[in-house]
């Protein structure tokens, strides 16, 4: 099969012929039709992000394709089924704290590295080997739409945070980073889950206006100033009542101050979920006042990715019409042009923009 290989950080991907994967017990091989390209892939492949990725490897995170072959213990998947290849690889011998690697992207710790070395080939390939439980059935679909279904990879991240926050229908959510790649997806998913109102702060008026154009009056935008007290007051004023939940999806470059501003808008007994990258570049960490947390009985939790059941549940939101994948503008590249795809993704990683490689 043809696959794009990263041999060293800082080098281009090279498209080569590799042996076809063969499924063992508990494994499935998928014919890849489309794979999403993360906007910051270039920073991972250059080594700038210092992600734990054992090379050489075939990158590519979150593919859509058709089942090519299943291991002997698969009881439901059939050859030809359309599936989303959930990139969150979890060890099976580590419950309740499995080791985790994100397929073709990053490992967490030594255990994650062991997983990554076995599942060394991500979605920039004609075929990929995945754990059978990571094959999320999509139902029948038009192959022309496979690239659009890769948006599940963007939507699943905030879905994980909103499940962790136990967001309930009718509640008010504030999305910190609502104008970003993952933050805008959080707005869409929260509304699909029945949020009564989503407060969307940001500095870019054009992107804020676009969120309202897409989703209507349940989105309340706030043009932030950079001053913590002023912005917190503006955010609270934009909400129709107390803010029940806050989800943060800001990148490292934003720094801790806007995260704190957003987090501290939450009501007494409110929930704050942290999913962004603040502090990961070694900059200032988030400091939340102990008395504020204690007196207001605030819950703060971090969330990496999402639970194993999230993929099927998110597909349900799409299939029911609650979540509309046609919001996404998809730009597609052949596998031979994978380096162009990575460069394009870096410049087109805004809200509802999706770059895809089609092997
Ligand atoms: N936890 C997980 O499972 C998980 C999974 C995937 C990704 N992530 C993380 O998610 C984070 C966000 O990724 P992304 O690709 O969505 O980032 P992104 O698109 O680059 O984020 C842009 C957002 O950050 C805001 N921003 C940037 N600098 C700011 C500042 N100084 N003050 C206030 N707002 C600022 C932008 O607001 P303006 O519109 O005002 O510029 C915009 O809303 C990353 O750190 C990534 O590592 C986490």
pTM of the full structure? 0.97
Residue 283's pLDDT band (cuts 50, 70, 90): confident
Q: What residues does CATH 3.90.180.10 cover in the chain?
A: 2-151+328-358
Mean pLDDT along residues 125-132: 98
Atom 10 of ligand 1: nearest residue by CA position: 276
Task: Write out pLDDT tens, residues 13-38.
Answer: 999 999 999 999 999 999 999 999 99
Q: Which of 245, 253, 3 is nearest to 121 (CA)?
A: 3
Distance 28 CA to ligand 1 centre (A): 33
Of 49, 104, 177, the one to substitute when testing ligand 1's pocket (max ligand atoms within 8 A of C-beta) is: 177
Collapsing DSSP states into helix, strand and coil, what is residue 164? helix
Distances (CA, A) of 171 to 43, 93, 166, 167: 36, 37, 10, 7
Q: What angle do CA 270, 271, 275 make, to 5 degrees?
A: 155
Q: What's the CA gap between 32 and 15, in Å, rounded?
A: 15
**Nearest atom (ligand 1) to Cα of 351:** 19
Distance 277 CA to ligand 1 centre (A): 7
Atom 26 of ligand 1: nearest residue by CA position: 254
Tokens of 348: 């087109």
Atom 25 of ligand 1: nearest residue by CA position: 177
Query: Looking at domain 2-151+328-358, does it have CATH number 3.40.50.300?
Result: no
Residues with a CB atom less than 6 Å from ligand 1: 39, 157, 177, 179-183, 202-204, 207, 249-255, 258, 275-277, 303-305, 349
Asked whether residue 282 carries a pLDDT value surpassing 80, the answer given is no
Residue 267's pLDDT band (cuts 50, 70, 90): very high
Task: Write out pLDDT tens, residues 33-58.
Answer: 999 999 999 999 999 988 999 999 99
**Average pLDDT, whole number, for the chain?**
97
Q: What residues does CATH 3.40.50.720 cover in the chain?
A: 155-302
**Nearest atom (ligand 1) to Cα of 252:** 45
Q: What's the CA gap between 266 and 160, in Å, rounded?
A: 19
Residue 96's pLDDT band (cuts 50, 70, 90): confident
Q: What's the CA gap between 36 and 26, in Å, rounded?
A: 24
Of 86, 90, 182, the one to substitute when testing ligand 1's pocket (max ligand atoms within 8 A of C-beta) is: 182
**Nearest atom (ligand 1) to Cα of 275:** 1
Look at the block and give the residue holding tokens 């979920």.
273
pLDDT at 279: 83
Task: Write out pLDDT tens, residues 165-183.
Answer: 999 999 999 999 999 999 9
The CATH-assigned architecture of domain 155-302 is 3-Layer(aba) Sandwich (3.40)
Distance 40 CA to ligand 1 centre (A): 11
Atom 13 of ligand 1: nearest residue by CA position: 251
Mean pLDDT along residues 148-155: 98
**Nearest atom (ligand 1) to Cα of 306:** 3
Look at the block and give the residue holding tokens 């508990």.
26
Task: Write out pLDDT tens, residues 243-260.
Answer: 999 999 999 889 999 999
pLDDT at 49: 87
Q: Element (H or E) spanning 112, and its range?
A: helix 109-118
In order, the DSSP letters of 230-241 are: HHHHHHHHHSSS
Atom 21 of ligand 1: nearest residue by CA position: 180
Atom 32 of ligand 1: nearest residue by CA position: 254
Distance 184 CA to ligand 1 centre (A): 10
**Nearest atom (ligand 1) to Cα of 40:** 15
């Amino acid at each position: 099969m043809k696959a794009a290989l990263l041999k060293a950080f800082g080098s281009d991907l090279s498209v080569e012929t590799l042996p076809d994967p063969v499924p063992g017990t508990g494994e499935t091989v998928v014919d890849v039709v489309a794979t999403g390209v993360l906007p910051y892939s270039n920073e991972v492949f250059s080594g700038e992000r210092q992600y734990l990725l054992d090379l050489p490897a075939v990158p590519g995170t979150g593919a859509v394709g058709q089942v090519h072959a299943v291991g002997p213990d698969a009881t439901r998947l059939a050859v030809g089924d359309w599936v989303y290849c959930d990139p969150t690889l979890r060890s099976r011998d580590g419950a309740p704290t499995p080791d985790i690697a994100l397929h073709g992207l990053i490992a967490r710790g030594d255990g994650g590295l062991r997983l990554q070395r076995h599942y060394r080939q991500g979605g920039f390939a004609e075929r990929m080997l995945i754990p059978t439980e990571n094959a999320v059935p999509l139902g029948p679909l038009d192959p022309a739409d496979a690239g659009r279904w890769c948006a599940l990879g963007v939507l699943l991240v905030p879905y994980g945070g909103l499940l962790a926050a136990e967001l309930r229908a009718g509640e008010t959510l504030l999305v910190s980073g609502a104008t970003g790649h993952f933050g805008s997806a959080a707005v869409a998913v929260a509304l699909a889950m029945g949020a009564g109102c989503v407060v969307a702060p940001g500095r870019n008026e054009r992107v804020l206006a676009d969120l309202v154009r897409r989703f209507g009056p349940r989105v309340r935008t706030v043009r932030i100033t950079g001053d913590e007290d002023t912005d917190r007051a503006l955010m609270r004023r934009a909400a129709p009542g107390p803010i029940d939940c806050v989800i943060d999806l800001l990148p490292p470059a934003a720094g801790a101050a806007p995260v704190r501003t957003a987090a501290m808008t939450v009501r007494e007994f409110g929930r704050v979920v942290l999913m962004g990258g603040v502090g990961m570049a070694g900059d200032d960490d988030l400091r939340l006042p102990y008395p504020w947390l204690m007196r207001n009985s605030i819950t703060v939790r971090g969330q990496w990715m999402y639970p194993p059941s999230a993929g099927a549940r998110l597909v349900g939101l799409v299939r029911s019409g609650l979540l509309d994948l046609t919001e996404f503008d998809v730009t597609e590249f052949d596998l031979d042009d994978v380096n162009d795809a990575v460069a394009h993704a870096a410049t087109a990683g805004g809200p509802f923009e999706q770059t895809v490689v089609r092997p």
